[in-house]
Chain A
Amino acid sequence: MEPLLSAVGIRKVFPGVVALDGVSFDVRRGEVHGLLGENGAGKSTLIAILYGVYMPDGGEIYINGRRTLIKSPRHAAGLGISVISQHFALVDTLTVEENLKLSGIDVETAVKIGRELGVEIPLDKYVGELAVGEKQRVEIVKALARNSEILLMDEPTALLSPKEVKALLSIVRRLAEMGKAVVFVTHKIREAVEAADRITVLRRGRRVGTYERPFDEGVLLEAMFQGVVQRRVSKSSSIGDVIYRAEDLSGERVRRATVEVRRGELVAVLGVAGNGQEELMALLSGFKKPRGGRLIINGEDVTGRPFSEFLRRGVAYLPEDRGRALAKELSVLDNFKIRCIQDCMEKLAKAKEVLDIDFPSPFTRAAALSGGNQQKLLLARELWLVKPYVLVASYPTRGLDVDTAERFYALVKSAVKGGAVVSMEDVEEAVERADRIYVISRGEIAASFTPPFDVDEIAEAMTT
């Protein structure tokens, strides 16, 4: 069968970085084509090119066998291409109905399509109030209402709870049955295997290969990393006294949260997106002043002290938005120097090697790095260089591939002297890594767990 969309030899260069180097890819009607690769492999760039956000520097795109130059997202939409990305094309401050109208979609049609797909459309709600999964379903319905034939899904499961992921995967299969061509981007092998009919693996801007059913997970993993990475389950053996304690901590969303970290512990805060975990992390790090409650480091009350004092006491904070912790317009080196005092060039070179950060020169703008490499740079600065006493990290592994996530946990083990609080989205990741798990729901700590963990029990605490 002739592919509905095919891209041949696509090349895209960002200042100092080759994001895509001669990548070919195609997708047919009624097929889910998985696009698999670690961070910085070029998946998102390829999607952005197919949707007209970026213009390719080389290569050709064919739709229905006709060579096409996709000039803008608007043009792509006109060609029957829709994108479901981590960045929803929904405006938070408008209602769902207003958003539909703005997109030029007939509201009744959308509701009807939703019903066919088994999805409810909450018309009167503001998009800002919706859970991520709901927003995504609205996006899918929008795409169908526009008679899109090609759906590009860019890491659609990244922000979903386990239950929502399941629902999404079945919707994706349903889309293929309806005769749509679906491109499913992910860095999780299991999801790709479950959802896709074919899988193409990218690595560092190049296509490694395209695989047909039945898939061999080992082969895919090897293709992604060119060397098998084992997930090591390594828990701390010696857990000591409480070094950091938050009592009845309250903020705008967070209500009376009590969290404890013992020496040598990695504590996970789990929750479905939008339940106040970002604020909890900001409060725990001392970056945001609490409205109530107390923060105690090593037995000393530090509530309401300036953030600089928290830093001085060895607290490191990684906010969920990397952009806030990096000055994007400055060079990699300058960003590093914010915490580095001497021999910075040498230390940066060392960090580059140890953490495998990919940047062409220390003078490259931080903004030119891929998301994964920005995160690594941040880790190099805040963990590897500073060696903090307490680490407070908001979704440090979000969007990271297995390999980089592995490095992160190894780094926490070697560089953090006291203990760490890390917010996560993935139950399995938490169970694998954490010594203690807190579940946050609607701003409150709903439950806490210590090993041995029961995944189902935790997943249930997250969703009730």
Chain B
Amino acid sequence: MAVDQVASITLEALRSATPMLLATLGAVVGQRAGVLNLGLEGVVYLSAAVAAAVGPPWGFVAAVIVGTLYNLLYYVLSNDFALNQILLGFAFTMVGYGVGSQVARDVVGRPIEKPMVYGVETFAVAVVAAVAVYFFFLRSRVGLAIKASGDDPASLDLMGVDVYNIRRVAGLVEGVFASAAGAYLVLLYYGSWSEQLVMGWGSLAVITAMISLWSPLLAIAASLVPSFFISLAYVLQRLLQVSPHLLNLVPYVASIAVLATVQVAMRKTRLKALAPRWLARPYIREERT
């Protein structure tokens, strides 16, 4: 492969890494709080659709507001109402798809004027956000409480910190990141909207959050995994006579392979301690256990 092709894949990967990193950071915050948001896919999709329907520049703001509220709804249902997170995740994804494609029905295929961004500078901004999230966990009381909410909510409750509130805060942060990612995809990355275009990004973020071992700094590297393969798929499309549908599978298969490797490695080593112990479990106080 020629040097310029390697360079183009790398550049392409960095560009698509921005929304991936943003959504991953959201998922990291949420999962650290103990909530496995499988509905993140729906949040990214819906916010992307809103962004497309409203158009720049207000589409970005509208997408973040709608996406964050949608995400918060998931948190209220899964924690305050203690509903099953897995089922809820599927439901939120499906509703996101359905509502999103209706909202953006009229703008399918219509080009959106993209501002002049190269992709690398936005990735730099996302990296700064990742570092900020890192220090948020390390230094701030809310950050510590979010970690505690995912590791040991019962102790957190005993400390007199409202677990439900903390999880709502995590849901808010996650929602902002994920919907920013959705808006970015349409307004800055693709520059157009079609029904299949942004499918899968939210799901990949759920996986990359796990690959990153729930560390915002590792998330920077982990977000490059699917992005790299997404870009690779594009470049390969030009070179190979393979069905594009098959090539589109590559990022998912690769991400799952990396996730499986990381998880197996985790089980054998001390990294196990990094996983939020209460992941995907609602916290219910007045329960005799």
Query: Does B bind A?
Result: yes
Give chain A's interface residues, CB within 8 Å of chain B. Answer: 14, 53-55, 73-74, 76-78, 83, 85, 87-94, 98, 101-104, 128, 323, 328, 367-368
Excluding A91-B152, A91-B155, A103-B160, 14 further A-B contacts by CB distance (< 8 Å) are A53-B285, A73-B157, A73-B160, A76-B160, A78-B160, A87-B154, A87-B155, A89-B159, A92-B152, A94-B147, A103-B159, A104-B141, A367-B288, A367-B289
CB–CB A53/B148 < 8 A: no
CB–CB B289/A323 < 8 A: yes
Give chain B's interface residues, CB within 8 Å of chain A. Answer: 141, 144-145, 147-148, 151-152, 154-162, 273, 277, 285-289
Question: Mind listing 15 A-B residue pairs with CB under 8 Å?
Answer: A53-B286, A87-B154, A87-B155, A88-B155, A91-B151, A93-B147, A93-B152, A98-B144, A101-B141, A103-B160, A103-B161, A104-B141, A128-B273, A323-B289, A367-B289
CB–CB B288/A102 < 8 A: no
- Measured in the bound complex, the distance between the Cα atoms of B95 and A412 in whole Å is 58
- Measured in the bound complex, the distance between the Cα atoms of B147 and A314 in whole Å is 43
A132 to chain B, nearest CB (A): 14
Determine the residue in chain B with the shortest Cβ distance to A98.
B144
Determine the residue in chain A with the shortest Cβ distance to B273.
A93
CB–CB B144/A102 < 8 A: yes
Chain B residues near A53 (CB, 8 Å)? 285-286
CB–CB B147/A91 < 8 A: yes
Contact of A92 among B141, B145, B151 (CB under 8 A): B151
- Measured in the bound complex, the distance between the Cα atoms of B158 and A91 in whole Å is 10
Chain B residues near A83 (CB, 8 Å)? 158
CB–CB A102/B286 < 8 A: no
Chain A residues near B157 (CB, 8 Å)? 73
Determine the residue in chain A with the shortest Cβ distance to B276.
A93
CB–CB A14/B161 < 8 A: no
Are A77 and B156 also in contact (CB < 8 A) when A53-B285, A93-B273, A102-B144 are?
Answer: no
Contact of A89 among B144, B151, B158, B289 (CB under 8 A): B158
Chain A residues near B286 (CB, 8 Å)? 53-55
Chain B residues near A94 (CB, 8 Å)? 144, 147-148, 151
- Measured in the bound complex, the distance between the Cα atoms of B287 and A323 in whole Å is 14
Chain A residues near B288 (CB, 8 Å)? 14, 367-368
CB–CB B148/A102 < 8 A: yes
Chain A residues near B287 (CB, 8 Å)? 367
- Measured in the bound complex, the distance between the Cα atoms of B152 and A87 in whole Å is 11
- Measured in the bound complex, the distance between the Cα atoms of B156 and A205 in whole Å is 29
CB–CB B144/A101 < 8 A: yes
A138 to chain B, nearest CB (A): 12
Determine the residue in chain A with the shortest Cβ distance to B154.
A87
7 nearest interchain CB pairs?
A89-B158, A74-B160, A77-B160, A91-B148, A102-B144, A89-B159, A93-B151
Q: Which of B156, B159, B162 lies at the interface centre, i.e. has the most chain A CB atoms within 10 A of its CB?
A: B159
Chain A residues near B154 (CB, 8 Å)? 87
CB–CB B289/A102 < 8 A: no
Chain A residues near B273 (CB, 8 Å)? 93, 128
Chain B residues near A98 (CB, 8 Å)? 144
A333 to chain B, nearest CB (A): 19
Q: Which of B141, B157, B158, B273 lies at the interface centre, i.e. has the most chain A CB atoms within 10 A of its CB?
A: B158
CB–CB A102/B159 < 8 A: yes
- Measured in the bound complex, the distance between the Cα atoms of B151 and A55 in whole Å is 26
B67 to chain A, nearest CB (A): 29
Chain A residues near B155 (CB, 8 Å)? 87-91
Determine the residue in chain B with the shortest Cβ distance to A78.
B160
A75 to chain B, nearest CB (A): 8
- Measured in the bound complex, the distance between the Cα atoms of B57 and A395 in whole Å is 64
- Measured in the bound complex, the distance between the Cα atoms of B286 and A452 in whole Å is 48
A83 to chain B, nearest CB (A): 7
Chain B residues near A74 (CB, 8 Å)? 160-162
- Measured in the bound complex, the distance between the Cα atoms of B99 and A125 in whole Å is 50
- Measured in the bound complex, the distance between the Cα atoms of B246 and A178 in whole Å is 74
- Measured in the bound complex, the distance between the Cα atoms of B187 and A21 in whole Å is 65
Determine the residue in chain B with the shortest Cβ distance to A103.
B159
Chain B residues near A73 (CB, 8 Å)? 157-158, 160
Determine the residue in chain B with the shortest Cβ distance to A76.
B160
B230 to chain A, nearest CB (A): 33
- Measured in the bound complex, the distance between the Cα atoms of B166 and A74 in whole Å is 14
- Measured in the bound complex, the distance between the Cα atoms of B13 and A289 in whole Å is 44
A101 to chain B, nearest CB (A): 6
Determine the residue in chain A with the shortest Cβ distance to B157.
A73
A239 to chain B, nearest CB (A): 40
- Measured in the bound complex, the distance between the Cα atoms of B162 and A78 in whole Å is 13
Chain A residues near B159 (CB, 8 Å)? 89, 102-103
Determine the residue in chain A with the shortest Cβ distance to B140.
A101
- Measured in the bound complex, the distance between the Cα atoms of B232 and A183 in whole Å is 66
B28 to chain A, nearest CB (A): 15
- Measured in the bound complex, the distance between the Cα atoms of B286 and A104 in whole Å is 24
CB–CB B289/A87 < 8 A: no
- Measured in the bound complex, the distance between the Cα atoms of B144 and A323 in whole Å is 28
- Measured in the bound complex, the distance between the Cα atoms of B273 and A83 in whole Å is 27
B213 to chain A, nearest CB (A): 13
- Measured in the bound complex, the distance between the Cα atoms of B147 and A91 in whole Å is 9
Chain A residues near B289 (CB, 8 Å)? 323, 328, 367
Determine the residue in chain A with the shortest Cβ distance to B142.
A102
- Measured in the bound complex, the distance between the Cα atoms of B158 and A74 in whole Å is 8
- Measured in the bound complex, the distance between the Cα atoms of B288 and A127 in whole Å is 25
Chain B residues near A93 (CB, 8 Å)? 147-148, 151-152, 273, 277
Q: Which of A74, A103, A104, A367 lies at the interface centre, i.e. has the most chain B CB atoms within 10 A of its CB?
A: A103
